[in-house]
Amino acid sequence: MPRKSIELPKIEYLSILNENGELDKELEPKIDPKGLIEMYRYMLLARRTDERMLLMQRQGRCGTFPQSSGHECISMASIFNINKDDWHVPAYRELAGLLWRGWPLESILLYWNGFEEGAAPPEGVNDLPVCVPIASQLLHAAGIGMAINMEKTEKVVMTYFGDGASSEGDCHEALNFASVFKAPVVFMCLNNQYAISVPLSRQMACETIAQRAVAYGMPGIRVDGNDVLAVYQAAKEAVERARRGEGPSLIECLTYRVTPHTTSDDPKRYRSDEETKEWVLKDALPRFAKYLDQKGVLPEAKRLEMEEEIDKTIKAAVQKAEVMFQSDELLNPLHMFDYLFADMSPALQEQRDELAEHFKTKGKDWTNPQKKEKTPASPRA
């Protein structure tokens, strides 16, 4: 009867391959060499694509986009645990995962160049596209998980959100729905310690995002987000749990956004270079590369070959995409009307005709709107 403590679930922290490349052998997950190489390849592919897009953006050949460099580990080491008929509900820094799931590089390039076509998941890929309104996708993931339960299959959903996203009401509702309905969802939080300029300490007053799992009666764990093995292991446990019908889990992956928020952000305004430099040293890629090398799974020579192959792959994709950017099929603005509903209402048909007529009388050349120069009003984030 007197004052007593309520027992709380345990929240864990996990690191396996630490920032100095030291391995905790006991905790090391067993991943076959093919798998290890595959993970590394997609992380590298994502990294190089991101870098190429940055160059293109600077040259006016790509729109503003949120860089994913530094987040490949979280995306790749988690998504690697699911199957083709499972579901992937990303936010917008899961480039590695999208590529691994089967999105062509061209789609990525199309998307960040302002074409809806780039948001269409390829046939047979159970992914939702990039989601811009923060945290809203988490409810879609929860809903897919609820539907999986209705179907009585053992599929799972892997979904992603940022530290900033955790402040949105939708994040709370998604975690709550998933837990109440025991939906097979793994909630992956990319805690990169910034939401544009707002640091973690202004975003929340609790120590970890993982501990929010206590509010939903689900397991919560914080892992080193630059440690492929730790992310993999935590996600693996969560996926298995979800498949067993035990419901959702929350995995907080602690990392740092070493890049600007997007190509138009200037982080110098709100944080010091030193802070960033410190974290650059913790990058997952060299750490993982060293591990693979030491393990004999991917010696340096092989890795350099991979670099070359990836370079070629990206070049080819860019070429292909840039042809598409100019194609009539993709540029014809009249298509903007064609996908609103399965059927077109007479009033919408009239509006379409109105625009067709406009282009006819005006003879406007809409074939290359890409060339329009950037207006000086573009946002800085």
Partner 1 sequence: MAEMNMAKAINLALFEAMTRDDKVIVMGEDVGPDEGVFRITEGLFAKFGGDRVIDTPLAESGIIGTAIGMAIFGMRPVCEIQFSGFDYYNYHQLESHAARFRNRTRGRLTVPMVMRAPYGGGIRALEHHSESREAIYAHTPGLKVVIPSGPRNARALLHAAIQDPDPVIYYEPKACYRLFREDVPETMETLPIGKAQIVKQGTDITLISYGASMRATLEAAETLEEDDGVKAEIVDLLSICPLDTETIVNSVRKTGRAVVVHEGPRTCGLAAEVIARINEKVLMFLEAPVVRVTGFDIPIPYFSKEQAYLPDAEKVLKAARETLSF
Active site residues: 257, 261, 270
Question: Within a 10 A sphere around the Cβ of 107, how many other Cβ atoms?
Answer: 24
**Cβ contact 147:174 at 8 Å:** no
Burial of 350 (0-12, 13-18, 19+ CB in 10 A): exposed
Residues in contact with partner 1, shown as a per-residue x/- string from 352 to 371 under the rule CB under 8 A:
x--x--xx-xx-x-x--xx-
Site for ligand TPP contains 164 (CB under 6 A): yes
Rounded CA-CA distance 37/35 in Å is 5
Looking at beta carbons only, is 88 or 261 nearer to ligand TPP?
A: 261
- List, in sequence order, every residue forming a beta bridge with 190; answer none if it has no partner: 162, 253
24 binds, among partner 1, ligand TPP, a copy of itself, none (CB under 5 to 8 A by kind): a copy of itself
Q: Which alpha helices (H) appear in 206-253, and where do they start and end?
A: 228-243
**Binders in 194-223 for Mg ion, by CB under 5 A:** 194-195
Give which of partner 1, a copy of itself, Mg ion, none residue 10 binds (C-beta under 5 to 8 Å, depending on kind).
a copy of itself
* 227 in contact with ligand TPP (CB under 6 A): no
177 CA to centre of own chain: 22
Decide whether 196 or 356 has the Cβ nearer to Mg ion.
196
Question: According to CB under 5 A, which one of 72, 106, 163, 237 is a site residue for Mg ion?
Answer: 163
Per CB under 8 A, the list member of 177, 187, 232, 279 interacting with partner 1 is: 177
- Show contacts with Mg ion in window 164-193 (CB under 5 A): 164, 192
Contacts (CB under 6 A) with ligand TPP, residues 132-151 = 132-134
Let me know: does 36 contact 191? Beta carbons within 8 Å. Answer: no
What amino acid is encoded at 122 in this protein?
P
Show contacts with a copy of itself in window 26-85 (CB under 8 A): 26-27
- Closest by alpha carbon to 126, among 188, 84, 75, 81? 84
The item of ligand TPP, Mg ion, partner 1, none sharing an interface with residue 93, based on CB under 5 to 8 Å by kind, is ligand TPP
By CB under 8 A, name the one of 24, 28, 51, 322 that touches a copy of itself.
24
- Residue 257 interaction partner, one of partner 1, ligand TPP, a copy of itself, none, beta carbon < 5-8 Å per kind: ligand TPP
Closest CA to 328 of 374, 372, 371, 365: 365
Contact 238, 219 (CB under 8 A): yes
By CB under 8 A, tell whether 247 contacts a copy of itself: yes
| Angstrom distance (rounded) from CA 306 to CA 324 | 27
CB 46 within 8 A of CB 95: yes
Kindly state the smallest distance separating residue 377's Cβ from a copy of itself, in Å: 30
Check residue 23 for interaction with partner 1 (CB under 8 A). no
Helices 33-58 and 228-243, packing angle to 10 deg:
110
Angle made by CA atoms 119, 124, 128, in degrees to the nearest 5: 35
Tokens of residue 145, six digits? 């998980």
Does position 5 interact with a copy of itself (CB under 8 A)? The reply is yes
Confirm if 171 and 138 have CB atoms less than 8 A apart.
yes
192 binds ligand TPP (CB under 6 A): yes
Which residue from 23, 37, 54, 198 is in contact with partner 1, where contact means CB under 8 A? 198
Closer by beta carbon to Mg ion, 209 or else 239: 209
CA distance 280 to 273: 10
Q: CA 34, CA 23: separation in Å to the nearest integer?
A: 20
Instruction: Pick the closer one to ligand TPP by CB: 106 or 252.
Output: 252
C-beta closer to a copy of itself: residue 86 or 170? 170
Where does this chain bind a copy of itself (CB under 8 A)? 1-6, 8, 10-15, 18, 22, 24, 26-27, 167-173, 176, 179-180, 182, 202-208, 210-212, 214-218, 222, 247
